Structure 1
Amino acid sequence: MTLTVQPHRESLGLKTGQLYIDGQWGPAKDGATWTHQHPATGEAVGDFAVAGVADVDSAVAAARRAFESGKWSNSRAGVRISVLHRYANLLREHADELRGLQALDNSVPVSFGSIYATSVGAAADVFDHHAGWVDKVGGQTLPPYQGGDHLAMSFREPIGVVAAILPWNAPFLLFAQKVAPALAAGCTIVLKPSEYATFSVLRMVELLIEAGLPEGTLNVVTGPGDPVGEALITHPDVDKVSFTGSRAIGKRIVEASAGTLKRVSLELGGKSPALVFADAPNIGLAAATVVGAVTMGLSGQACVANTRALVHRDVYDEFLAAAQGMAAGVTYGDPFDPGVISSPLINERQLERVLGYIERGKAEGARLVTGGERLGGELASGNFVGPTIFADVENSSTIAQEEIFGPVLAVVPFSDEDEAIRLANDTEYGLGAGLFTSDVQRAFRVSRRLRVGTIGINGFQIEPHLPFGGFKQSGLGREGGQSAFEAYTELKTVMMPLTDEMM
């Protein structure tokens, strides 16, 4: 039977994607479009506009006019709070529709779209959380350091026009983590979704308009990184760029920001380790957690997934056996089938990249335990690679050091705590880590020594009120919580004498 998503396309009433600039939907000025091909079937899903440089100029100009007008940036706190809360409720009401659109975009199964970290509900919670900061974050009033009769104060003000550039793998959460704090702070936005996850984001934008966002406050330019993303990151009237994606593009954004000293927030991926100690509460559960993160849902196409498993030699064989069992239960196919729990790779380029890393792992001497090939049969038209586990991996090898972004787990043995920490930190990345141990003291001791931004102890969960981001080359800045809100503000210092005497 041939796999197809066309019936779902019709039932969801997929619209042709257009740009949204200054409160108006419309095509690109030059009429350019992109046809999105479904990663599970190769079918053409739909077309959307590809913005040109002139479209980006118009979008940034609209955002600048809206910001300078003050209709959002200087609005009453209660106005912003009510719009953000109203939007959170609309997201929850349309959760099923949005999950369906995401399945048409990136083929993430609707079953996985209900799991909190990748759900519409998580995005709604992020908006609710940031709505709570609107009337609470301010500056300080300080006593005069030199004495005298004057006031010394600081204020937080919105940073201005923000370019928010989204990846394709988690459009709900990443939309929320960028848009919610920026709007809460009073910024205006030019948003660029990934060309591989556009339709779900456009629907999210429609709902935000319905919630009452003023015209020009949020503008949307669609299309690939070249020309759309490049035009955004180099635009002289953009005050801040917030980007989630590859390290190579992150470095390009830093270079482009130098001309106008744009503020930059970057989340650039990782090679996150899971440290499995012999005293882990349940070795089988630890293996299932690690393998699940690398193979289920996004099929390893997640920046924070524990793609390196550092396992104590005393439980090494037990871990591998349990990992194989977990991998054997992963199912693929129609993303709308509730029995399907994993997705294909996003495009043919990524498919070839992952298969190349698998061959590199074999060539460098790692032991292939399971997987390692493209899936065929009724899946042959899609970009499917089965769960792949390598054992006896050298931590210095390519598959242990480079971000593969696919369902490939590298298992590395260790003998003691110091070796585990050394191996974990021996990477250019520092996004996340997992710790599996029954020893509370060890859990905190090791956590303090790991050079990463987020650590899960015997499990992992995304929380809307906690900061998320990485050390080293995993990025700059944090998303989530108060730190995210403040990243969309500038601090201003004001001093005022209370008498006519000179200060």
Structure 2
Amino acid sequence: MKRLANFINGQYQAPVGGAYLPVFEPAKGAVYAEAPDSDEQDVALAMAAAKAAQPQWAGTSIDERYRILHNIALGIEKRAEELAAAESRDNGKPVWLAQEVDIPRASANFRFFAQAITQFASQAHDNGPGGFNYTLRGPLGVVVCISPWNLPLYLFSWKIAPALAAGNAVVAKPSEVTPLTAYLLGEICQEAGLPPGVLNILHGYGHRLGTALTSHPQVKAISFTGSTRTGAEIARVAAPLFKKLSLELGGKNPNLIFADCDYDKMLRTTVRSSFANQGQICLCGSRIFVEASLYDQFKADFVEKVKALKVGAPTAADTKVGAVVSQAHYEKILSYIQLAQEEGGRILCGGAPVQLDGEYANGWYIAPTVIEGLAHDCRTNQEEIFGPVVTIMPFETEEEVLQYANSTEYGLAATIWTQKLDRAHKLARELEAGIVWINTWLKRDLRTPFGGVKNSGVGREGGFEALRFFTEPKNVCLDFE
């Protein structure tokens, strides 16, 4: 049984209270490790370390910060195979997916923000002969970063890297469900030369450790990715304390497919955008709307391709759909499939658990599921399932599909498939979403703002948006008169 530790002041430490929580391997449905069940005592140690380290880190030259963050990126690349195996074991995703997506992106996050801070500029406003104003941007101090279980190191690094680049000290909490790669990141930061206390990593439950972190008076800002319900609770606690908040929350993303699309590319991409990472990506398109004249052809071809996706052990090279992340999530997904049937939905494929053989017999696997026949405003089409489940539905007009797409409380991402650019740009403007892809999906430029509208979040991550969030602007006015 592997026992993890907190990373505080540059060293690994057992939780002060001596309590641990189980870490499950989804592919096998069994406990394989223990992680600290941290509490306020551990928070106090991490905050003290961060507070002591932050002034010196803030005074470190940008070139030195660049060098250290670049070293962290290289350290992740050096241990890519180990990290991918750890990510797969923790999360249930195929190892090949972690190798191709999760770990390279984690390295890219550190490399990108190492470079971005060297290009981050402030503004000056010339008042003519009377003087001028200029803006200084300094680090906030101690910040908290909380990341989810679906893309563990990918999203952990997405928050930590800009916070460190901007000169803050960080106390970070990975999901208690997937702690292993965050634990290993401590070693990589040690080897990269990150000063002790600049990054502290605590493990534990959200209702205890997360609450202690977000309510701590020393914390200046909170960057959180996770459920809308948890985001609302963080906002309730943090807003009266005047902490800066960046909340990347849930999604129920629409996929708008018109008859004039590049059909082969659309079909290939839609299979991926529906079921990548077992559908456990906040950007997956879970509501698929297809122009009526194309609907029957799409349904037949899409279902055929989905049925061909192999559900299997994450270690197998030909596995396309691995295990979902936990038993609780497994049961939630199955309950929504049952709800869809009660609401009149027809299961076109999937809709049931998959049991593998041997050591994987108790893992949490669900066949990729396609459902039709549901109203656009039913619960299945309104609530976030976050699993290998999609619904398909025909539409007649642009106005109709726009109404369907915008009908949920969420507004994270949307995808449009059409060759008519005037239609694409018009719909992109009218869709209530923070991100719109036209004839593609999940093509990311790290310079662009990332985030949602409505119940999908507050604020933006990515590029200079992230560096602006993690800094405080100060205007300086000089009068010549």
TM-score (norm 1): 0.92
Q: Does 2:354 match 1:367?
A: no
Would you say 1:22 and 2:43 are equivalent positions?
no
What whole-Å deviation, never above 9, does each CA across 1:438-490 have from its counterpart, x for those lacking one?
12222222111111111122212123222211111100111211111111111
Amino acid at match of 1:102: E
Tell me, yes or no, if the aligned pair for 1:330 and 1:341 is still in contact at 8 Å: yes
Partner in structure 2 of residue 131 of structure 1: 114
Distance 2:72 2:115 in 1: 14
Maintained 8 Å contact 1:36/1:44: yes
Could you tell me which residue of structure 2 aligns to residue 6 of structure 1? none
Determine which of 241, 249, 266 is the counterpart of 1:260: 241
Equivalent of 2:336 in 357, 361, 381: 357
Q: Secondary structure, in 3 states, of the residue corresponding to 1:493?
A: strand
2:86 matched to 1:101?
yes
- 1:358 Cα deviation (Å)? 0.8
Indicate the SS of the match to 2:432.
Answer: coil
Kindly provide the CA deviation profile for residues 35-70 of structure 1, in whole angstroms up to 9, marking residues without a partner as x.
212111122211121111110121112111212xx2
Equivalent position amino acid for 1:234 in 2 = S
- Partner residue in 1 for 2:175: 194
Q: Distance in 2 between matches of 1:338 and 1:112?
A: 10
1:80 to 65, 86, 108: 65
Change (3 A) 1:394 1:287: farther
- Greater fraction strand: 2
Which among 325, 331, 338 is matched to residue 310 of structure 2? 331
SS in 2 for 1:71: helix
After superposing the two structures, state which structure 1 stretch, 52-61 or 304-313, moved more: 52-61
Render the CA deviation track for 1:223-247: whole Å, top value 9, x for unaligned: 1112111111111111111110000
Q: Which amino acid aligns with 1:339?
A: D
8 Å CA contact 1:387–1:407 kept in 2: the answer is: yes
Residues of 2 paired with 1:495 and 1:288: CA distance? 56
Tell me, in whole angstroms, the C-alpha distance in 2 between the residues paired with 1:163 and 1:137: 22
Deviations 1:264-287 (A, max 9, x none): 0011020000000010111x5423
Query: Is the 2:228–2:455 contact (alpha carbons within 8 Å) kept by the matching residues of 1?
Result: yes
Structure 1, unaligned stretches of length 5 or more? 1-13
Task: Give the Cα separation in 2 of the matches to 1:405 and 1:141.
Answer: 45
**Is the 1:267–1:470 contact (alpha carbons within 8 Å) kept by the matching residues of 2?**
yes
For the pair 1:471 / 2:458, whether they are aligned, the reply is no
Opposite residue 322 of structure 1, the aligned amino acid is D
Counterpart Cα distance in 2 of 1:336 and 1:377: 13
Secondary structure of 2:401's counterpart equals helix
1:202 match: secondary structure: helix
CA displacement, residues 360-399 of structure 1 (integer Å, 9 cap, x when unaligned): 1111112221111111242541111111111122110111
Can you give the 5+ residue segments of structure 2 that lack an aligned partner in the other structure?
Answer: none
SS class of match (2:310): coil
The aligned amino acid for 1:423 is Y
In the alignment, structure 1 residue 376 sits paired with structure 2 residue 376: no
Aligned to 2:430: 449
The equivalent residue for 2:43 is 56
In the TM superposition, what are the counterparts of 1:340-489 in structure 2 within 5 Å? 340-378=319-357, 380-460=361-441, 461-489=443-471
Partner of 1:65: 52
User: Secondary structure of the equivalent of 2:57?
Assistant: coil
CA–CA distance in structure 2, aligned partners of residues 423 and 35 of structure 1: 42
For residues 178-189 of structure 1, the aligned pairs below 5 Å read 178-189=159-170
1:238 pairs with 2:209 = no
Q: Structure 2 residue aligned with 1:157, among 133, 138, 143?
A: 138
Q: CA deviation at 1:148?
A: 6.0
Match of 1:490 among 472, 475, 478: 472
Percentage of identical aligned residues: 35
CA contact (8 A) 1:295 1:330 kept: no
Aligned pairs (5 A) from 1:163-312: 163-282=144-263, 284-296=264-276, 298-312=277-291
State the one-letter code of the partner of 1:253: I
Amino acid at match of 1:471: V
Q: Which residue of 2 aligns with 1:9?
A: none
Q: Does the Cα contact within 8 Å between 1:274 and 1:434 map onto a contact in 2?
A: yes
How far apart, CA to CA, are the structure 2 residues paired with 1:332 and 1:315? 28
Which of 22, 26, 29 aligns to 1:42? It is 29
Aligned-residue offset at 1:135: 2.9
Alpha-carbon distance change, 377 to 181 in structure 1, aligned in 2, over 3 angstroms: closer
Distance in 1 between the 2:179 and 2:226 partners?
Answer: 15
Q: Aligned AA for 1:81?
A: Y
Paired residue type of 2:116: W
**TM-score, structure 2 length as denominator?**
0.96
